Amino acid sequence: MTLGAAALATAVLLTAAGCGGDKPKWYGADGKPNTETPAEAPVNVAVTAPAEGATNVPAATEIAYTTDGATSTVELTDAAGNKIDGALRADKSSWVPGKMLTWGTQYTAKITGTSASGKSESKTVTFTTMAKPGSTGKASTVIGDNQTLGVGMPIIVSFSNDIAKDQRANVQKRLFVTSNPPQEGIWYWWNNKEVHFRPKEYWQAGTTLSVRAAIGGLLMGNNRYGSQDLTINTKVGSRIIMEADNATKQMTVTKDGQLLRTIPVSFGKKATPSASGNFVIMIKNEWEWFDSASFGVPNDSADGYRTKVYYPQRITWDGEYIHSAPWSEGDQGRRNVSHGCTNISAANAQWLYGVTQIGDPVIIKGTEEHVKWQNGWTDWDITWTEYVKGSAIPYVPPAVAPSAGPSTSGSASPSASTN
């Protein structure tokens, strides 16, 4: 055994020696091992927008660049050296400043690419934003900072001017929603002036939401630019869901999956039926005047009325509410006698008012008619497959679970959602 191993080793050495006169590549010209490491390739960085020295740049500009580095950073500063924070879009197509840039101001962007081994190279561009335009528009929302929302609440952004169809994708790309925990969602163009964002499923209870309509400095059509950004930071409360069925004339109220109360109801009579569908609470007040004249029925007619109603919670624009109706308590749970609202007892109405939030889902089943699309915030009354068709940016299902960061479809921040 020992002799065989020695003979084999000798054969290997002889074979190696007989491979020809060329020295192995790892030997230098002096016949000694070469210890030099080949030069590392440069880390290429190229800025594609804005161009170096560019002027009249929109105040909503983004920094677009390419690099073959493993990582990259962007440093954006104004002429005074003040730093502007920002973030890279999830698709890495551009870097989005964290706030609107100032009109008529010079900025410098330094982009640095770094290789896996730590080698870095930078590219710098200087540009100047446009002067403030003569025509501007703004964005607004019904949602307040730090407001607690129901799990069905859509994010609603309204514009002061019409957004033409050929501008909607550009505007939508600047609408960022960031949810924690991350949840998939998308924008739906409600009309020329309003866009909604809803998640694929109800928001998870306890979700925090950061919304930025980054339209400041953005061309919105007809030579009109956004005057400023709109930002909201809010949260989602408990999962409160109300389900009412005409077959039983009962409403169940659940919180985080647990039944809180079953409430007898009276829906609209046959002449004025309640609508079935998927609603959310839009407005709630301790009391309101209900006046039939507001929808064309004189107060002094047989079906007319003017009544002070307590604890009304609105679910449609044409006047359907859940509210206190002490006059129909004997009918509740038995027969329908209302003008279209969901009547509940005074005690139940006061209790329910104390439980709900704007955006809590209301599901009504089995009545004589179905709610018309957009009669209220009916975002949940169509399927997700239908809802994504309202986006100005083609819907692409996420390859992985959504992650927090800015977005252009549905969650929020450049890496969040903007579809």
Tell me the one-letter amino acid at 341.
C
**How many other β-carbons are positioned within 10 Å of the β-carbon of residue 301?**
10
Task: Find the catalytic residue in 196, 323, 339, 370.
Answer: 323
Q: Give the integer Cα–Cα distance in Å for 371 and 364.
A: 10
Q: Which amino acid is at 29?
A: A
- The CA distance from 325 to 344, in Å, is 6
Cβ neighbour number for residue 103 with a 10 Å cutoff: 15
Tell me whether strands 83-84 and 71-78 are parallel, antiparallel or unpaired.
antiparallel
3-state secondary structure of 209: strand
DSSP string, 359-389: T-EEEEES-SEEPPTTSSS-GGGS-HHHHGG
Measured at the CA of 283, the angle between CA 317 and CA 316, to 5 degrees, comes to 20
Distance set, CA 64 to CA 3, 91, 96, 97, 229 (Å): 69, 12, 9, 11, 21
d(CA 224, CA 290): 41
Please give the biggest Cα pair distance in the chain: 121
8 Å CB contact between 50 and 90: no
Active site (annotated) includes residue 323 = yes
370 among known catalytic residues: no
Structure tokens at 189: 């163009």
Spatial CA neighbour of 179 closest among 192, 195, 163, 197: 197
Does residue 181 have a cis peptide bond before it, meaning omega lies within 30 degrees of 0? yes
Active-site residue, from 19, 196, 339, 341: 341
User: Tokens representing 324?
Assistant: 């206190």
Residues labelled catalytic: 323, 341
